[in-house]
């Protein structure tokens, strides 16, 4: 079967944007069409990754609006929602549309408009994805992160500073990302002295609330050649759920969805973690970077903190993680985040990542929905 190629990508300025969801989606969509050199009426399928435009903005039907705004009618269009991993789910949906033969040119646009709502309102919308048995008792995603971090530090005898070092690293990487919400370094002391949010986690262990959008253009590899000789292929992809009730998990330091989706993606690509050159992990909370490194076999169980301490995941290390700055520095506009992870990996493997470029032929993106309720792992390789 023809492999699925990525022939173009875009990412808008992440941060507090004076634009509504329709405008954000159109901005990324137009930029991606231009980047790929694809005419709007050549788009056959158009997927929109978005969690909650209805709840945040009172606007639904945004895929139809986007088809209209891009001039892509009569392209088939649909919204993909998998909560905070809607972007990764969008990559999977777009991949399926091409791999099934349904579409020879699929545009995926992910976006979310959130900053016009208060942090409490936004947290409430996000918390509605969790099990009522937990969220009605006030256990939101940040609470899970705090509880899990405490367990992890205790279980594996890890220093609190190792978590803070994730934030320091990702902020340092974000300086080179012109689209990142925070393009500034933070010191270990700043992180360690920031206000407690969910003990032991502090303000700088959390990603911000963000507006933004990103896009990818997918087509069969045989079609890619008509547009460019420098493209990526999605060589592996998989998705998996874990218990919806988080407290039912046997070991709270293991995310089953990360393990299972990673296995699927590695198997399809015919590679293992040692073959990776770069990875984007879903660092909505610093502790999640550890859990994904371990779940994906990048570090042994309980040893991701040592990799951070040893600088292995720095840009100069064995396996650079979150060269984009991650969700931590780049921001986390729910539906856009997984697509923006794909943007970074695509740019890295085609050698177009500018100041963020590392030596990379194979990259992985892991997008986590809820608190690991559903996870999508994608592997891209340089084409040809």
Q: 212 vs 257, which CB is nearer to a copy of itself?
A: 257
Contacting range for a copy of itself; rule: CB under 8 A; set: 66-74, 154-162, 207-215, 227-235: 66-74
Q: How far is the CB of 190 from a copy of itself (least distance, A)?
A: 33
Contact segment (CB under 8 A) with a copy of itself among 99-107, 112-120, 273-281, 292-300 equals 99-107
Closest contact distance (angstroms) between CB of 243 and a copy of itself is 6
Q: How far is the CB of 351 from a copy of itself (least distance, A)?
A: 29
Residue 52 or 350: which CB sits closer to a copy of itself?
52
- State the Cα–Cα distance between residues 17 and 345, nearest whole angstrom: 24
> What H or E segment, with its residue span, contains residue 269?
helix 256-269
Residue of 203, 139, 210, 141 lying closest to 181 (CA atoms): 210
Piece of the chain touching a copy of itself by CB under 8 A; list 82-90, 186-194, 211-219, 356-364: 82-90
Based on the shown chain and the rule CB under 8 A, indicate whether residue 242 belongs to the binding site for a copy of itself.
Answer: yes
Query: Binding to a copy of itself by residue 213, rule CB under 8 A?
Result: no
Query: What Rg value do the Cα atoms of the chain yield, rounded?
Result: 19
Tell me: does residue 55 bind a copy of itself (CB under 8 A).
yes
Q: Is 270 in the site for a copy of itself (CB under 8 A)?
A: no
Q: Shortest Cβ distance from residue 238 to a copy of itself (Å)?
A: 7
Told to check if 265 binds a copy of itself by CB under 8 A, we report: no
Q: Report if residue 99 touches a copy of itself, rule: CB under 8 A.
A: yes
> 204 in helix, strand or coil?
helix
Question: Which of 102, 188, 196, 355 touches a copy of itself (CB under 8 A)?
Answer: 102
Straight-line distance from the first to the last Cα atom of the chain, in angstroms, rounded to the nearest whole number: 15
Structure tokens at 243: 């218990």
Cα–Cα distance for residue pair 57/273, rounded to 1 Å: 40
The piece of 69-77, 280-288, 304-312, 349-357 that touches a copy of itself (CB under 8 A) is 69-77
State the DSSP string of 347-382: HHHTT--GGG--S-SEEEEEEEETTTTEEEEEEEEE
Q: Which of 15, 24, 29, 95 binds a copy of itself (CB under 8 A)?
A: 95
Is residue 1 within the footprint of a copy of itself (CB under 8 A)? Answer: yes
* Residue 81 found at the interface with a copy of itself (CB under 8 A): yes
- 171 binds a copy of itself per the rule CB under 8 A: no
DSSP 319: S
If one asks whether residue 123 binds a copy of itself (CB under 8 A), the answer comes out as: no
Spatial neighbors of 189 by CB under 8 A, at least 6 apart, are none
Contacts of 301 (CB under 8 A, 6+ apart): 253, 254, 294
Q: Considering beta carbons, is residue 77 or 143 the nearer one to a copy of itself?
A: 77
| Residue 13 near residue 243, CB atoms below 8 Å | no
Q: In angstroms, give the least distance from the CB of 55 to a copy of itself.
A: 5
Counting contacts by CB under 8 A, is residue 369 touching a copy of itself?
yes
State the CB neighbour count (10 A cutoff) for residue 316: 9
Rule CB under 8 A: is residue 26 a binding residue for a copy of itself?
A: no
* 130 belongs to the binding site for a copy of itself (CB under 8 A): yes
- Shortest distance, position 338 Cβ to a copy of itself, whole Å: 12
Nearest to residue 91, comparing CAs of 227, 224, 236? Answer: 236
Whether the CB-CB separation of 205 and 167 falls below 8 Å is answered with yes
Q: How far, in whole angstroms, is CA 29 from its chain's centroid?
A: 18
Looking from the CA of 249 toward its CB, the CA atoms found within 13 Å total: 18
According to CB under 8 A, which one of 177, 261, 322, 337 is a site residue for a copy of itself? 261
Closest CA to 4 of 214, 217, 215: 217
Positions in the binding site for a copy of itself (CB under 8 A)? 1, 51-52, 54-55, 58-61, 63-65, 67-68, 72-83, 89, 92-93, 95-97, 99-102, 125, 128-132, 237-245, 256-257, 260-261, 369-370, 373-374, 376
């Amino acid at each position: 079967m023809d492999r699925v190629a990525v022939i173009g990508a875009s990412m808008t300025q992440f941060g507090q944007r004076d634009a509504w969801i329709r405008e954000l989606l159109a901005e990324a969509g137009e930029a991606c069409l231009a980047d790929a050199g694809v005419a709007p009426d050549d788009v056959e399928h158009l997927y929109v990754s978005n969690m909650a435009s209805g709840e945040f903005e009172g606007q639904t039907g945004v895929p139809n609006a986007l088809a209209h705004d891009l001039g892509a009618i009569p392209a088939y269009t649909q919204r993909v929602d998998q909560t905070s991993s809607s972007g990764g789910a969008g990559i999977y949906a777009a991949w399926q549309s091409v791999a099934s033969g349904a579409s020879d040119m699929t545009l995926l646009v992910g976006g979310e408009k959130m900053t016009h709502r208060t942090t409490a309102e936004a947290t409430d919308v996000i918390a509605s994805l969790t099990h009522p048995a937990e969220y009605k008792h006030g256990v939101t995603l940040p609470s899970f992160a705090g509880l899990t971090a405490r367990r992890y530090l205790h279980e594996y005898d890890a220093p609190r500073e190792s978590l803070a070092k994730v934030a320091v690293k990702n902020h340092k990487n974000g300086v080179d990302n012109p689209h990142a919400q925070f393009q500034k370094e933070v010191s270990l002391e700043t992180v360690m002295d920031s206000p407690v949010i969910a003990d032991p986690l502090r303000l700088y262990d959390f990603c911000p609330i963000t507006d933004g959008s990103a896009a990818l253009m997918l087509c069969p590899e045989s079609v890619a050649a008509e547009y460019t000789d420098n493209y990526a292929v999605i060589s592996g992809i998989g998705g998996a759920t874990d218990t919806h009730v988080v407290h039912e998990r046997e070991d709270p330091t293991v995310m089953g969805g990360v393990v299972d989706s990673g296995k699927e993606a590695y198997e399809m690509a015919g590679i293992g973690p040692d073959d990776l050159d770069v990875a984007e992990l879903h660092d909505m909370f610093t502790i999640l970077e550890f859990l994904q490194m371990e779940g994906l076999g990048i570090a042994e169980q309980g040893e991701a903190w040592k990799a951070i301490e040893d600088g292995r995941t720095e840009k100069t290390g064995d396996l650079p993680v979150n060269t984009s700055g991650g969700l931590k520095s780049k921001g986390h506009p729910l539906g856009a985040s997984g697509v923006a992870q794909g943007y970074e990996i695509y740019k890295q493997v085609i050698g177009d990542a500018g100041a963020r470029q590392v030596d990379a032929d194979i990259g992985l993106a892991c997008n986590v929905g809820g608190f690991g309720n559903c996870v999508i792992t994608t592997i891209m390789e340089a084409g040809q």
